[in-house]
Copies of this chain bind each other. A is one copy, B any other.
């Protein structure tokens, strides 16, 4: 399972074998069956989670019991909870597996240690955080500017592979639109 993570890193930065050995020595691995939780709201989560295989989702359940999907995390994506990680607070989010998955976990402290001792890893983290900010920004733009139809179009254009892998109601939840509206929007688009 570590191979996948190593390949991911090799694609971004150059590390020595020793670096990799160290990272591997502190990495934890976890297999999740479909629908199994990686994190349940209410508990503290102090890991950086990297998806080697499968598909996770990060979502919030409101008082009415409605799920609001904050993030989709397929292979080669990171997930977790910055809030819980940084402030040691109980998480407000659930993370579970949409498909059977294999996850690599790095404890906050180990991750920080790696970041501080390997400059190129630090740059990579920085870069990743900036890219993440860009992605979030684009999502905000879509949220505040587009119609339901446009949101759906934007989503499948940006994430064709994700939209094939998850049920429509999850995309609806991610976009902040009802599943019925999304279903209508889609058949309407297909007609043209």
Contacts and interface: CB of A to CB of B under 8 A. Distances in A.
Contact-residue size bin, chain A (C-beta under 8 Å from the other chain): 20 to 34
A155 interface: no
A82 B130 contact: yes
Contact of A82 (B137, B139, B141, B145): B137
A139 B137 CA distance: 10
B83 A145 contact: no
Interface stretch (A3-11, A18-26, A33-41, A121-129): A121-129
B145 A176 contact: yes
A62 B145 contact: yes
Number of copies: 2
Interface in A112-169: 115-116, 119, 122, 125-126, 129-130, 132-134, 136-137, 139-141, 143-145
Given A82-B130, A130-B129, A133-B133, A140 B141 contact: no
Contacts of A144: 68, 143, 173-176
Given A129-B133, A136-B133, A176 B82 contact: no
Interface of A: 60, 62, 66, 68, 70, 82-83, 86, 115-116, 119, 122, 125-126, 129-130, 132-134, 136-137, 139-141, 143-145, 173-176
